[in-house]
Structure 1
Amino acid sequence: MLKIQHLTKVYGTKKAVDDLSLHIQSGEIYGFIGHNGAGKTTTLKSVVGILQFDSGEIYINGKSIKEDPLGCKSDIAYIPDNPDLYDYMSGIKYLNFVADIFGINEKERNERIHKYSDMFEITSDLAQPISAYSHGMKQKLAIISAWLHSPKLIIMDEPFVGLDPKASHLLKEMMREVCDNGGAIFFSTHVLEVAEKLCDKVAIIKGGKLIRSGTIEEVKGDDSLEEVFLELEGE
């Protein structure tokens, strides 16, 4: 579903991402772990076509993000770490705007908007301008917009930040459902306990370099993921 091959991104003299290769397959929830500045967000923005990169290649569902960016973007959804939505729009106008971009017909968009806004209990707030939303409400709106076109691959940067426990639980269920239906999830997180319980595989990045990856069992062995991460960070 997602192949990252020898990805390198340089800012000035610093390699923010250094020869990174990962393969996220259909059906997998793949966690991406590292401290602030490790290269996680740079990697995710490169995957979704926001950042150009210096070398390497990224394939989404067999298509190159360099050669066919629009084709790739039609198959993915991206939720940044700080949802930067159009504050002047109402929630419902924003969702319809996203649905228009992906060519979702009226029947399907209405069904999905109704389903997910009810799940996240923001239906009554959709008429309000986004500028009046709390951070948590903006996060919920961003999640709903990401799920609208039933993407094959969902990329998320710290998706649980700002969500209440009920919304976090719903998001985890939605992530698993996507993968059960043949999609894939690639997301960064600082919440190692969530990663350990939720992910099929994880990758740990440090200083732009991949230092460990694999199934949860392969990465952590007999220790907790937190213990392994702290040990690797200290090396």
Structure 2
Amino acid sequence: MEHGPGKVLSLKGLTKWYGEKLVLDNIDLDVYEGQIIGYIGPNGAGKSTTVKIMLGLEATYAGEVEIFGENIKKNSVDYKKRIGYVPESADLYDNLSAQEYLTFTGELYGLDADTAEYKARLLMRVFELEEVYESRISSYSKGMKQKVLLISSLLHDPDILFLDEPINGLDANSVMVFKEILAQLAAQGKTIFYSSHIMEVVQKISSRILLLNDGKIVADGSFEQLRQKNKEGSLEEIFNQLTGFNEHQTLAEDFVQIVQREDV
């Protein structure tokens, strides 16, 4: 596989236990500038645990994590200013306006208040939300809240972006804009971890796909490489093959039959 000029992230022997359960099993991984990584796997495979460790939200683990060439246990704060994060479900401060929330977030990442406020207003305008910029977030729709989350993760121009189901609630046009934003950021050398259960999107946007199953990386490569190796047509089919899930048709038939029963 061809790599960009610089390694931005390295996991060496990353292992994590929760009590008796082995969640991450001796993972080795190198990630390079400009890669859009589709980070996929069944629920409970260890995806969010890996991300929490890389973000410094989970401190107890075995192995080494280096980001920007530094062991994150030795450099616990500085590297975080170069990271953006959109969690799958985030609690926004509903009583704040987007103006207040985004300015506050920008300051946390090291921007001065005026710069954060100015950039946030312009980004809200791009997403056609300038009219509600000073309204309380509690009045926003789900899609509007998601746009504010996306802006908050990118406001400080991070070098690595972690996205968990980032297009939840977005309309079709906004999804197209967002996918183009990711492509342009990657072209500038930014690194993006994109975690989603929507396989079609992951298949289309990723330059590299990592499939985690039972705490191990069971596939690593471009979609074309995975398709050639696994002799399957779509990422969803590759996913099902490698995770051993082949009951979807039977489960769907059972569901539909129950829905259509009249003899209850």
Give the Cα–Cα distance (whole angstroms) in 1 for the partners of residues 90 and 143 of structure 2: 10
SS of residue paired to 2:91: coil
Query: Residue in 1 aligned with 2:61?
Result: 54
SS of residue paired to 1:95: helix
Counterparts of residues 196-207 of structure 1 (less than 5 Å) = 196-207=203-214
Higher-RCO chain (CA-CA 8 Å, sequence separation at least 6):
1
Query: Residue in 2 aligned with 1:150?
Result: 157
User: Structure 1 residue 107: deviation in Å?
Assistant: 5.9
Query: Residue in 1 aligned with 2:235?
Result: 225
Moved more, 216-225 or 138-147: 216-225
Query: Residue in 2 aligned with 1:122?
Result: 129
Pairwise CA RMSD of aligned residues?
A: 1.6
Matched, 1:113 2:123: no
User: Structure 1 residue 110: deviation in Å?
Assistant: 4.3
Please say if residues 6 and 55 of structure 1, whose CA atoms lie closer than 8 Å, have aligned partners that are also in contact.
Answer: yes
Please say if residues 102 and 117 of structure 2, whose CA atoms lie closer than 8 Å, have aligned partners that are also in contact.
Answer: no
| Structure 2 letter corresponding to 1:229 | F
Q: Can you list the C-alpha shifts for 1:104-142, whole angstroms capped at 9, x where unaligned? A: 245643442233212222211221222222222221111
Matched, 1:96 2:103: yes
Give the Cα–Cα distance (whole angstroms) in 1 for the partners of residues 107 and 26 of structure 2: 37
| Structure 2 letter corresponding to 1:205 | L
Q: Can you list the C-alpha shifts for 1:159-211, whole angstroms capped at 9, x where unaligned? A: 12222212211211111121111111012111111111110001001111111
SS of residue paired to 2:30: strand
Please say if residues 79 and 146 of structure 1, whose CA atoms lie closer than 8 Å, have aligned partners that are also in contact.
Answer: yes
Q: 1:73 aligns with which of 80, 84, 87?
A: 80
Structure 1: give runs of 5+ residues left out of the alignment: none
Structure 2: give runs of 5+ residues left out of the alignment: 1-7, 246-264
| Structure 2 letter corresponding to 1:39 | G
The alignment of Structure 1 onto Structure 2 pairs a total of residues equal to: 235
Please say if residues 8 and 53 of structure 1, whose CA atoms lie closer than 8 Å, have aligned partners that are also in contact.
Answer: no
Please say if residues 78 and 156 of structure 1, whose CA atoms lie closer than 8 Å, have aligned partners that are also in contact.
Answer: yes
Give the Cα–Cα distance (whole angstroms) in 2 for the partners of residues 175 and 129 of structure 1: 28
Counterparts of residues 21-60 of structure 1 (less than 5 Å) = 21-60=28-67
